[in-house]
Amino acid sequence: MRRPSIRTQLLKGTTPLLVLTVLRDGELYGYEIAQRIRDRSGGAFAPSEGSLYPTLHALEAEGALQAEWRISDKGPKRRYYRVTGSGGAMLAEHDKAWAEFSIGVQAVVRP
Amino acid sequence: MRRRRKTAGPETPGASPHELPELPAAAADFLDELDADLLLPDRDRIRIHEELTAHLEDSIASLMAEGLDEERAAAEAIARLGRPEALARDLEAARRTTRRLLAGAAGGVFQAGVGALWGLIVGYLALLLVAVLAALLLATIAKPPVDFLAAHLPAFDTDSNDLGLNAVFGAFVLVSAAWFGARRAVLTTYQVSRRNPEQVRAAWAAVGGIGLLGFILFVYSGQQTWLALVAELCIPPAFVLGALKFDWKSHIHLPLWATLSIVVLSVALPVMLLIPASSSGGSGGGPLLEPLQTGPSAAEIAYDRVAPLWGSNSGEVLGADSGTIEQQSQFDMRYSQLNGPALNQFSNIRLEVWHGTSLPKDQAAYDPELVPDPSYGASFLSQSLSPTADGHLQVNLDLSKVRADKWVIFITATGPDGHRYRLNHPESIWSTFHGTVWDWLAATD
């Protein structure tokens, strides 16, 4: 079995944070979400598309996201996601946890 | 090669398949594999299928815009999504929240009740239809053979309140209710909770089967007979079978051996319960499934003359309305010579002149034999009797654990002339057993 890359492992726990963050600015569908994250990171990384959809569906099941089918600019219908009120609270919580975590990691790795 | 896609789950009522964009064959195959691996309700599978079709279309178009040919673009887009079985597993897990599990369980319980009601109605209507058809058949086509059978088979006891036919009908309706209830429970829990369908089926089969068995054995208290017992014990296996046999996707099947095992057990278990009950014969009483042996020999009859003293209440419970006997644990019966028909030689004889008055346990019979049958004797019957102060004989029978439903007792005494006489009029005594199935099984008569 192939060992997951370090980047994949690091990204795994942050996918909900990344998804909620890019959706904070407006509703997007799955492929756009992946593209938006890739663009914002300057092409440095994007969530695994295999983990993106399970994350979207889990967040929707938890009530953090709402989704609806709509015709996209490109023609065929797409499933658009947007952040709900509880999703906003979840984002704030994830954001705070991430800030504390990254500061802690930085302090250890680059003292 | 490109293939036009249609949405998955064509079995879903009300879900019209949408035409999806054409995809390269490799991408279409990937979606087919994913769909086969997904153990989710049709609605979810359709949604995932459509969403990932759109995703693959976007991804392939984007990769082709970067310079890849269609085949390589499709391969890259598929690779980014990972292995279909892993993606299916993650997509299933994404839907399995505790809230959904609780909602699914609660919904399943509610729908089990709705399904049971529906099953009762369906079962009852089906029986009505069968009864009408059978009546028509018997009245026309099958009349000669029915007449022949009626002439050669024992008469059916239509006076009994534990009719075998009623028990069979009851069992059919209850099985129908359990079957429909189980299926609705499984479907609802599965659709709401999104749990693995095999686990949902197994959980409902285990919880429902054990719960119903426990309820029937220890909680539900009603009129019991051996046949009613069989009808009641049909419910748990019917529920288990209904849950395990529920099949929402064509590729999920209960193996034939498992189905047959459950069917065989469903029939065998009640039959195994019946065999000891019927083979124990007279000692058990109750609605015996085999006719009693022929009358006892002369040596077993402990009286040789009859002096009937009329039962003051004709065998009914004193102080209670007829028909409420099952509410009592004591069956009181009073006999008085004063109410009986006068017999010339004893017209002036008081009860005091009789001696050795008793109700021996081997002096009872299962109606309609009306002859004492020692094998039918039960310890609760045996008691010595003596006249009461007001000149009555009083018999107290504890029926709380008696499975017999229709029987006759013989009170005997030795008369002034030294002969042994039967004193009471041998009227049938009716009793019904009320309690749980466990009470019934534990009863020893």
- The CATH code of the domain that includes A47 is 1.10.10.10
Mean pLDDT (whole number) for B358-376: 60
Q: Between A and B, how many residue pairs show a Cβ–Cβ distance under 8 A?
A: 66
Supply B343's token pair.
């017999």
Probe site for chain A from B51, B78, B87, B192 (most A CB atoms < 10 A): B51
pLDDT digits (tens, 9 = 90+) for B156-192: 444 444 445 666 777 788 888 999 999 999 989 988 8
Nearest residue to B62 via CA among A44, A34, A47: A34
Residue B221, Ramachandran bin (φ over 0: left; ψ between -120 and 50: alpha; else beta): beta
Q: How far is the CA of B321 from the CAs of B15, B328, B397, B403, in angstroms?
A: 62, 11, 17, 21
Q: What is the pLDDT of residue A30?
A: 92
The interface pTM score, or ipTM, of the predicted complex is: 0.86
Does A1 map to a domain?
no
Portion of chain B with pLDDT greater than 70, in percent: 52
Averaged over B307-332, what is the pLDDT?
A: 37
Q: What is the pLDDT of residues B14-67, one digit of tens each?
A: 344 445 557 888 999 999 999 988 888 888 888 899 999 989 998 999 899 989
Residues of A in contact with B90 (CB under 8 A): 50-51, 53-54
Is the omega angle on the peptide bond into residue B368 within 30 degrees of 0, that is, cis? Answer: yes
pLDDT of residue B252: 46
Percentage of the residues of chain B whose pLDDT score is greater than 90: 18
Task: Return the pLDDT at A50.
Answer: 85
- Nearest CB among A31, A35, A54 relative to B90 is that of A54
Q: H/E/C letters for each residue in B164-195?
A: HHHHHHHHHHHHHHHHHHHHHHHHHHHHHHCC
Q: Tell me the mean pLDDT in the region B302-306.
A: 55
Residue A58, min C-alpha distance to chain B (Å): 4
Over residues B394-421, mean pLDDT: 68
Minimum distance, in Å, between the CA of residue B182 and any CA atom of chain A: 26
Interface of A to B at Cβ within 8 Å reads 29-31, 35, 48-51, 53-58, 61-62, 69, 74, 76-79
Which one of A50, A56, A61 has the shortest CB-CB distance to B81? A50
* CATH architecture under which domain B298-432 falls: Sandwich (2.60)
Cα(B88)–Cα(A20) distance, integer angstroms: 23
Query: pLDDT higher for B399 or B111?
Result: B111
More confident residue, B234 or B316: B234
Q: Where are the domains of chain B?
A: 2-94, 98-279, 298-432
pLDDT at B345 over 60: no
Identify the closest residue of chain A to B94 by CA–CA distance: A58
Please name the residues between 229 and 288 in chain B that touch chain A, using a CB distance below 8 Å.
Answer: none
Region B206-212: mean pLDDT is 94
Is there a domain that residue A55 lies in?
Answer: yes
Enumerate residues 6+ apart whose C-beta is below 8 A from B374: B296, B300, B362
Q: Give B22's contacts in chain A (Cβ within 8 Å).
A: none
Q: What is the largest CA-CA distance in chain B?
A: 126
Find the CB nearest B54 among A50, A56, A78.
A78
Residue B72: band (very low, low, confident or very high) from pLDDT cuts 50, 70, 90: very high
Total count of domains within chain A? 1
Q: Inspect the interface and report whether the beta carbons of A50 and B20 lie closer than 8 Å.
A: no
Contact (CB, 8 A) for B51 and B94: no
For residues B414 and B83, the model is more confident at B83
The pLDDT of residue B116 is: 92
Nearest to B90 among A51, A62, A78 (CB): A51
List chain A residues with CB under 8 Å of B52.
Answer: 53
Contacts of A57 in chain B (CB under 8 A): 91, 94-95
Name the percent of chain A lying above pLDDT 90: 42
Predicted pLDDT of residue B386: 67
Q: Do the beta carbons of residue B275 and residue B289 sit within 8 Å?
A: no
Report the pLDDT averaged over residues B143-155: 65
Q: Choosing among B4, B64, B90, which should be mutated to test the A contact, i.e. which has the most A CBs within 10 A?
A: B90
Measured in angstroms, the CA of B87 and the nearest CA of chain A are apart by 6
Give per-residue pLDDT as tens, A7-21: 666 766 788 999 999
Is residue B349 classed as helix, strand or coil in its secondary structure?
coil
Q: Flag whether residue B85 sits within 8 Å of chain A, measured between CB atoms.
A: no
Residues from chain B that touch A55, judged by Cβ atoms under 8 A, are: 94
* Confidence band for B398, pLDDT divided at 50, 70 and 90: low
Mean pLDDT of chain B: 69
pLDDT of residue B321: 30
Residue B319: pLDDT over 50: no
Q: Is the pLDDT at A4 greater than 80, yes or no?
A: no
Query: What's the confidence (pLDDT) of residue B156?
Result: 45
pLDDT digits (tens, 9 = 90+) for B219-251: 888 777 777 788 888 899 999 999 988 765 543
Quick one: tokens of B277?
């009950």
pLDDT confidence of B427, banded at 50, 70, 90?
Answer: low
The range of the structural domain enclosing residue A56 comes to 6-109
Per the CB < 8 A criterion, the answer to whether B309 and B336 are in contact is: yes
On whether residue A96 sits in a domain, the answer given is yes
